[in-house]
Structure 1
Amino acid sequence: MMTRVDPTLKAAQDAQARPHAVVVGAGLGGLAAAMRLGAKGYRVTVIDRLDSLGGRGSCLHRDGHRFDLGPTIVTVPQVFRELWAACGREFDKDVDLRPLTPFYEIRWPDGSRFTAQQDTDAMRAEVSRLSPDDAAGYDRFLRDSEARYEFGFEDLGRRSMHRLGDLLKVLPRFAMLRADRSVHAHAAKRFRDPRLRMAFSFHPLFIGGDPFHVTSMYILVSHLEKAFGVHYAIGGVAAIADAMGRVIESQGGLMRLGCEVDEILVRDGRAQGVRLATKETVEADVVVSNADSGHTYDHLLRNRPRRRWTTRKLKRTRWSMSLFVWYFGTRGTANMWGDVGHHTILNGPRYKGLVRDIFIKGRLAEDMSLYVHRPSRTDPGVAPEGGDTFYALSPVPHLGHDDPVDWASEGDTYRKRVQAVLEDQLLPGLGAHLTASEVFTPDTFRDRYLSPYGTGFSIEPRILQSAWFRPHNVSEEAKGLYLVGAGTHPGAGLPGVISSAEVLGKLVPDAAAVNAR
């Protein structure tokens, strides 16, 4: 996909007179940044090495199945609505977003289950069903979650944190909210039942964080779910990415897909454009990188001395885990497995021990926990008639640990282990109905997305790797260089990467101001 504009048209000539912004990467953060810049009057070019929009939110088509490759849950839809409104558009006219009820089901090896949903009374009843003594703790946890949402998301998450002074001003609030305590430690303060401690602490895994070490600020997710619901976009997140592309095109933007940026060009201390792998240069007044922050600094700026994000510092950084994802289709199953909904979480026999193996020891454990996505329950178009489309996701160690997993030899064995767990605990008889199949390992994340160590979510969101401590949205390495996406502030997850572009919009001067220089 490449937009071509007739240079003889007056609109095209006017566009050429506008300041030029180059966005490296067509993930959701990069596309949101392009929309914000287009709304500020820039002529925008988005460059991505893949052949479709969306980055990790893109999709694959196999034998009539559409596999959503990355994020599947849309929370805080107002960040999208506000983004569209900034561009003079209406999100709900471009994207068919469906609320899910229930949100997801959590299952444990002992046969117990927990159904997460938006209604507070129903959630309180679920808590009481598992552990009557924990109902009061649930109410306290909700209040804790809302307080952290107001501070962590609506305040810190929607403004730049690149100045040390901004951090110093909020330290008392961090202390009051016990940001030093982990998500799991906070859940343990409110719930006695270990199943409920898991149910209200696992969310950081969806953004690459170890629940036993990530700051308790991330319990804000429970408030997000309650206040705004959990949604699914018909057509998957790829449909949102395609809608973003159409907005960018309507602003006169250009998408260059199948083109890899090899270097960000810096002259006289200012980002001046990019050089492609083909040696072509693209000049720009502003450069925005939606590539992983580690790749941005260690590769795209490899020929520049760096003051903060040096190779040594990046090697000392704690990175998120990686993912093993099995995408598979089935035939003749539309009326099977009736109790399996859109989202299911299957817990293995261990919680803390498994997380420790993944994040700390860096070893592939014998047991596993799985997140299972069955979008065909909501979106029949993802599969041929009578069939289903699934993916099963297992958190696994990234490739940066000592003695990393050799996925070339282990991948098929691990896929069979995943299938065995599914057949035993969720989808009996699965093997007889399998059709299409695709596997992503940490090697895929490294090679497809240029993700350091094959991580699934870039830098882990620990307290000393969040806010000011995280790579900033405005780079200190070159003027005119900005970062968006999971590896910068505020962090991973759809609300985070879309908010990173909102922060960008507050940092980049309007195009008129650039023209006046």
Structure 2
Amino acid sequence: MQNTSASSAQDPAHPAGPDGSPGDETAASPRAARARGVLRGARAPRAVVIGSGFGGLAAAVRLGVRGYDVTVVEKLDAPGGRAYVHRQDGFTFDAGPTVITAPFLLEELWQLCGRKMADDIELRPVTPFYRIRFHDGATFDYTGDAAAMRAEVARLSPGDVEGYERFVRRSEAIFRVGFEELAHVPFGSWADMARIVPDMVRLESYRTVYGLVAKHVKDDRLRQVLSFHPLLVGGNPFSTTSIYSLIAFLERNWGVHFPIGGTGALVKGLVSLIEGLGGTVRCGAEVRRISVEGGRARGVELASGERLAADVVVSNADSAWTYRHLVPPEARKRWTDRRIERQRYSMSLFVWYFGTRRQYPDVAHHTILLGPRYRPLLEDIFEKHVLADDFSLYLHRPTATDPALAPPGCDAFYVLSPVPNLLSGTHWPTAQERYRRSISALLEATVLPGLEGALASSRLLTPQDFQDRLLSFRGAAFGPEPVLTQSAFFRPHNASEDVERLYLVGAGTHPGAGLPGVLSSARVLDRVVPDASKLA
């Protein structure tokens, strides 16, 4: 998957801008100073960013540093998008992302503004990364320590230690190309895709994640341990391209972290960066449509009727929602309704946020509870679109790292169950409480005894909420499913194929979902959005 163009030869931590200059300079750097100097005495070009998820906020920071007058418009009453924060009954619940990897992508945004993230954000390493609990009660502590991981593998399946080591080496090889060389490179043409084909073949990208794992290890439980990562970005391990096996090495390389104050602290910090650059974040401002004239984005129209003119528009909204509902049909030649509907979309999520009047000190920060079925359950979710009676769960206990997220003597949690998107036809207003009780019963019987009697706070997020509240097409939680035919060039492009000066960031565009993915999508803008000096 190696791209041999001059731009991709840059260090991935220092991506080139559209003019070939370094893309990671601080606000006090020569490049930033040039941008301000060129614009002195002239109107700074305007950028409107739709949505304040991590991708949108990162894009706003980067555009602000480059001399744009940035306005972020957000439908909800507070910033964050899927990283919204719910506060109730004394508990703080992060609505979305909870696993922080590749922290340098965040630190870089502070550096661009001439600041240090450590002055605003305290990131704490989490170990184990995940405690995986099998249906029979056995556990596996997944960490970044090589010796500890070998010992865990040997305890589970002694005959697979060598195969596990081979898998780690293959994960690193994929990471070196798939993340370091390609995650920050736009795929705007067939030539971009053609250049990486030899490496895709060499790295066996035609295999699925599960297929690559199964090539190296034989034990069924270990195969599950090493293949679940695609579920963190909306993919089925049995159909997601093995490119996503890079996540295993990415976590080992930089670790898994959690910010004190929750991921909402990161949102607050990014908003402060935007405002420090002179930008604005407007909440309660839903976009009705993107204004397109002469094939070019000219701004946005809000649901209130207010119009905001812009020289460039960046959408951090769901990519399918952007094209289907925000871009006028007459302006879409590539992303027609038919093409949008024919894409394969990720699964959705059922999330139960809850607080308890007691603490569960033996529960890790991140726990994965695997159900009795692995592949058949994933087939129900992704292929059959059936809401099954059984489930596998991700349990998040942030108070294991930051007790202040709950009242004294209490614990805060959320439990997430992958479920089909709205193609399942499930009527969630009537199904949600039954499903919650089923999850609660399993948790009570396994890792959280006495749960129902200890509940102090509760709220739900269903696939219907993903569509209605978060404007995700079909309630898919991660946009297009990350199969090979919907990756890189085949994903909605960062620079819109249909509308000039419309750009996309977030889970629905290249490189994909997950916090490193959406932050990298904002990095790509440094290569495709014109420098402010050219629009002044």
User: Scaled by the length of structure 2, what TM-score is found?
Assistant: 0.92
| CA distance in structure 2 between the aligned counterparts of 1:271 and 1:187, rounded to whole angstroms | 44
Equivalent residues, number: 499
Q: 2:55 aligns with which of 8, 24, 29?
A: 29
Q: 1:345 aligns with which of 368, 377, 382?
A: 368
Q: 2:482 aligns with which of 449, 452, 461?
A: 461
Q: Which amino acid aligns with 1:109?
A: H
Q: Deviations over 1:215-262 (max 9, x none)?
A: 001110110111100000111111101100000000000111101001
1:185-334 paired onto structure 2 within 5 Å = 185-331=211-357, 333-334=358-359
Q: 2:80 aligns with which of 4, 29, 54?
A: 54
Superposed displacement of residue 190, structure 1: 1.0
> For the Cα contact (< 8 Å) 2:53–2:79, is it kept in 1?
yes
2:151 partner SS: helix
Q: Deviations over 1:260-306 (max 9, x none)?
A: 00100011111100001111110000100000000110010134341
Tell me what 1:388 maps to.
411
Superposed displacement of residue 365, structure 1: 0.6
> For the Cα contact (< 8 Å) 2:351–2:462, is it kept in 1?
yes
Q: Deviations over 1:370-390 (max 9, x none)?
A: 100000111111100000000
Tell me what 1:497 maps to.
518
Tell me what 1:354 maps to.
377
Q: Which amino acid aligns with 1:254?
A: T
Superposed displacement of residue 175, structure 1: 0.8
1:487 partner SS: coil
Matched, 1:365 2:391: no
Q: Which amino acid aligns with 1:432?
A: G
> For the Cα contact (< 8 Å) 2:329–2:336, is it kept in 1?
no
| CA distance in structure 2 between the aligned counterparts of 1:100 and 1:107, rounded to whole angstroms | 17
User: Scaled by the length of structure 1, what TM-score is found?
Assistant: 0.95
Q: Which amino acid aligns with 2:276?
A: S
> For the Cα contact (< 8 Å) 2:91–2:406, is it kept in 1?
yes
Tell me what 1:413 maps to.
434
Specify every segment of 5 or more residues in structure 1 that has no aligned partner in the other structure, as ranges: 1-12
| CA distance in structure 2 between the aligned counterparts of 1:157 and 1:37, rounded to whole angstroms | 19
Q: Deviations over 1:450-476 (max 9, x none)?
A: 000111111111000000000000001
Q: Deviations over 1:183-217 (max 9, x none)?
A: 00111111111111000000000100010000001
| CA distance in structure 2 between the aligned counterparts of 1:293 and 1:28, rounded to whole angstroms | 15
> For the Cα contact (< 8 Å) 1:58–1:69, is it kept in 2?
yes
Matched, 1:478 2:499: yes
Q: 1:90 aligns with which of 116, 120, 128?
A: 116
> For the Cα contact (< 8 Å) 1:15–1:252, is it kept in 2?
no
> For the Cα contact (< 8 Å) 1:29–1:498, is it kept in 2?
yes
CA spacing shift, 1:420–1:506, aligned 2, 3 Å = same
Superposed displacement of residue 400, structure 1: 2.4
Superposed displacement of residue 164, structure 1: 1.0
* Deviation >6 Å, runs of 4+: 13-16
Q: Which amino acid aligns with 2:315?
A: S
| CA distance in structure 1 between the aligned counterparts of 2:423 and 2:47, rounded to whole angstroms | 34
Tell me what 1:426 maps to.
447
Matched, 1:374 2:397: yes
Q: Deviations over 1:408-463 (max 9, x none)?
A: 11111000001001001110111111011001110111111100011111111100
Q: Provide the aligned C-alpha RMSD in A.
A: 1.3
> For the Cα contact (< 8 Å) 1:16–1:43, is it kept in 2?
no
Tell me what 1:6 maps to.
none
The alignment-based identity, stated in percent, is 52
Q: Which amino acid aligns with 1:435?
A: A
Q: Which amino acid aligns with 1:208?
A: G
Superposed displacement of residue 85, structure 1: 1.6
1:428 partner SS: coil
> For the Cα contact (< 8 Å) 2:364–2:400, is it kept in 1?
yes
Tell me what 2:70 maps to.
44
> For the Cα contact (< 8 Å) 1:486–1:492, is it kept in 2?
yes
> For the Cα contact (< 8 Å) 2:292–2:331, is it kept in 1?
no
Superposed displacement of residue 14, structure 1: 6.7
1:449 partner SS: coil
Q: Deviations over 1:148-167 (max 9, x none)?
A: 11111111111101111010
> For the Cα contact (< 8 Å) 1:24–1:48, is it kept in 2?
yes
Specify every segment of 5 or more residues in structure 2 that has no aligned partner in the other structure, as ranges: 1-38
CA spacing shift, 1:16–1:387, aligned 2, 3 Å = farther
2:415 partner SS: strand
Q: Which amino acid aligns with 1:189?
A: K
Q: Which amino acid aligns with 1:374?
A: R
Superposed displacement of residue 352, structure 1: 0.2
> For the Cα contact (< 8 Å) 1:346–1:369, is it kept in 2?
yes
